[in-house]
Chain A
Amino acid sequence: MSSPQLRAELKKLIVTELNLKHRDPESIEDDAPLFGGGLGLDSLDALQLAMSIEERFGVRIPEGDEARQIFRSVRTIADHVARVQVLPKVGQQG
């Protein structure tokens, strides 16, 4: 499970990386859908977000259907980051 701090950090990352200057990070709800409706993000945003999450947290987002599940909401991303971060290094490489 992810911490509120991690989710808050992710919201800030989303706003700055995707240039959502008109959005207050705190106004993004933990479980709100990020793509399509919701924040209105698209596949290019998903790529940018995946790259910045890897940079910031050292966590790779897998590609394809798995990514779609992870990118559902701030909470699902945060849970993925938290889960991978506690894994030992060897697990990450596998």
Chain B
Amino acid sequence: MRPRLWLTGLGLVTPLGVGVEATWARLVHGERAIRQITLFDTAGQRVRTAAEVEGVEVPRGGWSRTSIMAATAAEEALRTARLDVRRMRVGLVVGGTTGGMFETEQLLARLHADPQCREVLVEMLAHPLTSTGDRLEERLGPFARIRTLSSACSSGANALVVATAWLLAGEVDAVVAGGTDGLCRLTVSGFNALGAIDPEPCRPFDRRRRGTSLGEGAGFLVLERADAARSRGATPVAELAGWAVGSEAHHITNPAPDGVLVASLIHRAIKCAGLSPRDIDYVNAHGTGTPVNDPMEAAALARGLSAEVARVPVSSSKGQIGHTLGAAGAIEAAITALVVSRRTLVPTAGLDEPDPAMGLVHVPHVGREVPRVRAAISNAFGFGGMDTVLVFADPDLRREAPALAPVQPVVTATAVFGPCGLLGTEACASLLERREPGAPVEPEGHLDPGRARRLDRAAQLGAVVVERVLDDVGGRELATGLVLGSAFGNVDGSAAYMHRIFERGPRSASPAEFPNLVPSSPVGHISIYAGLRGPALATADLGISGESAFAQAVQFVTAGEATRMVAGAVEPRSDIVERVLSALFSSQVSSIATRCDLAAAVVVESETEARRRGARIMVRVRQTLEVRGDTPSLVGLVEPLGGRAEVVLAHSGCAVGPLLDASAWASCERRVCGPAVGESDALGAVAIAVAAARIGAGQTDEALVLGLAKKRCHATVLVRG
């Protein structure tokens, strides 16, 4: 039987209050926190209201609003779980969309006035998405493993799904997982440009609804296996009983009106919990209050819950705390767990005139106690149709969760696209022997111009490699997931978008550009372009983002979350990243290598599925080891099996040498990708593709891919299939 997963600690920072109790008290009473924005000047914005968190004090030393809210919530979650990170292997998963954009906007404003200002440039990349995990590691760590992810507005929910995969694999003892997002000019102007903000505080499921209201905050949850939690004397708030993740492959901002994917996720998540719709006593809806979301979600609930939809109360917390974006999935998951635990339904504020077209049972205005909440659903939907459904259950509820079948992840196709050209599975094996001069990188020529018209440079590069591996591996009808890594996300796009606003005001914000600024945007666009319906998300881990994407894909395949995933990294050449690097390092090195457009992808799938299809198995994934720390060590890394073994490295950085020399792989030949491919943060994904292809071509039997960046290290061991 699958181990049960207990939720043993919660932490919330919301516009209703700092802390779980402060939030809960006001939530149940239907209080609303949506009012005039005070964080920044909103002159020229169509709608100037949002739900702000009050009393956030941002410490000095590289903190952002987003990170300090996360630290506050994660600290509360760890404290209420009575978890000691020094005595257990505790993982951390952080979901989000903006990182420190609020702080970065102030730098962009100065850079707008003086494009070469060195003082600003050296600070420009201080608040990437990964910075929250790094700050939490310093303040609350050490953590055994850290993942930073984005799937737009389902990020917080997907952080919990990642946690389930880690726990079920037994790779960590507990996970603190959640989401965090601070309000910023970029999101306020962007949602305004989309016409998606209600001039009144938002009114989910109301017939007068005109959009959502934005909010900010953080939510973190501690999850652990019930057996381990029980043996340390912990008590559960609720169980995370079921979950399901998928992609609509429909449209970058609009959900598919029929809600078919969401309905299937509801169905799968309930089944994953070992329950039926009859056991569901409450739904915390995504319920944004936009004209298109609410009817889609109502249709999905009707389909997913069948006749039970006429019984199950549904509410949305967004009329009170606003849409907290990357935090929403986690904050609302915590709220749903509390509803189960406290047998008290929370309301939909602002719901004066329920839209009869919804056909739902509502909880208008104020919450109410109920005799029992056996199980409850939390929905989270993101841009690009990246949707997640979670089921929380009363720990005393009798249920039989389906057993986990052991899965061996294998790699069946690889592709690299950059100055080396577009190389498929076969050609990747000889990539490091190539010495042609760099060719111009022209993704447009590989894509259908009509379908690709919304793809920015990153999405184009990614779509080319994803299409290539799918062509190589066949079986396009399979539900396939996608994880792509990026070190800093769309820095140039965000800068250009903000510069327009500084120049001409918020009304000139481009509705078409805005969705491309979310870190998961390339993943969303590519899932739509290639018709991928499995779990889709972006990872960020500085220079080893490609390695983190690969590890995540392996973990999802191992956990049975997807039978097949495409994993890789996409890094378009970035003018700002280059300027920042030269400002940072100009005093130390004579010249900074020009970085190139680069993308790489591999197909990771279950060996059983690959064999069923008769696909060629290039390599088995023997280990993905993720290490954190000031001086990461390779303790726990497997030894070579004894055949021909080599080490494939992205760069020939000086820190890699001593690390390898102290390992069992010390005497293996070392191959470096950078010189043959060009400089890029996507080189780690290239290294994995090259290693898999070389083994697949019989050039070696086994390979270690080692990626190293500031205070983090990823080791991937691949062996002949």
> How many contacts between A and B, using CB within 8 angstroms?
44
User: Do A43 and B512 have beta carbons less than 8 Å apart?
Assistant: no
Alpha-carbon separation in the docked complex, A54 to B252 (Å): 24
Given A44-B511, A47-B511, A51-B193, A21 and B254 contact (CB-CB distance below 8 Å): no
User: Do B453 and A19 have beta carbons less than 8 Å apart?
Assistant: yes
Residue in contact with B510 in the complex, picked from A20, A51, A63, CB distance below 8 Å: A51
Residues in B whose Cβ lies below 8 Å from that of A20: 450, 453
Q: How far is the CB of A23 from chain B (nearest CB, A)?
A: 9
User: Do B507 and A54 have beta carbons less than 8 Å apart?
Assistant: yes
Residues in A whose Cβ lies below 8 Å from that of B195: 47, 63
Tally of A interface residues using CB under 8 Å = 17
Chain A 24-66, CB-CB to B under 8 Å as 1, else 0, gives 0000000000000000101111011001001100000001000
User: Do B254 and A42 have beta carbons less than 8 Å apart?
Assistant: yes
- Dominant secondary structure at the B interface: loop
Residues in A whose Cβ lies below 8 Å from that of B252: 44
Residues in B whose Cβ lies below 8 Å from that of A43: 254
Tally of B interface residues using CB under 8 Å = 19
Residues in B whose Cβ lies below 8 Å from that of A22: 449-450, 453
Given A44-B253, A44-B254, A51 and B454 contact (CB-CB distance below 8 Å): no
Q: Does B45 contact A (CB under 8 A)?
A: no
Q: Does B504 contact A (CB under 8 A)?
A: yes
Alpha-carbon separation in the docked complex, A43 to B512 (Å): 10
Residues in B whose Cβ lies below 8 Å from that of A42: 251, 254
Alpha-carbon separation in the docked complex, A44 to B516 (Å): 13
Residues in A whose Cβ lies below 8 Å from that of B450: 20, 22, 40
Chain A 59-90, CB-CB to B under 8 Å as 1, else 0, gives 00001000000000000000000000000000
Q: Does B363 contact A (CB under 8 A)?
A: no
Which residues of B (98-146) have their CB < 8 Å from a CB of A? none
User: Do B511 and A51 have beta carbons less than 8 Å apart?
Assistant: yes
Q: Does B508 contact A (CB under 8 A)?
A: yes
Alpha-carbon separation in the docked complex, A21 to B450 (Å): 8
Alpha-carbon separation in the docked complex, A44 to B508 (Å): 15
Q: Does B634 contact A (CB under 8 A)?
A: no
Alpha-carbon separation in the docked complex, A44 to B515 (Å): 10
Q: How far is the CB of A11 from chain B (nearest CB, A)?
A: 16
Closest 7 CB pairs of A and B: A47-B511, A22-B449, A19-B453, A48-B512, A21-B449, A48-B511, A44-B253
26 A-B pairs within 8 Å (CB atoms) are namely A17-B512, A18-B512, A19-B453, A19-B454, A21-B449, A21-B453, A40-B450, A44-B194, A44-B251, A44-B252, A44-B253, A44-B254, A44-B511, A44-B512, A45-B512, A47-B194, A47-B511, A47-B512, A48-B510, A48-B511, A48-B512, A51-B507, A51-B509, A54-B507, A55-B504, A63-B195
Q: Please report B residues at the A interface, Cβ cutoff 8 Å.
A: 193-195, 251-254, 444, 449-450, 453-454, 504, 507-512
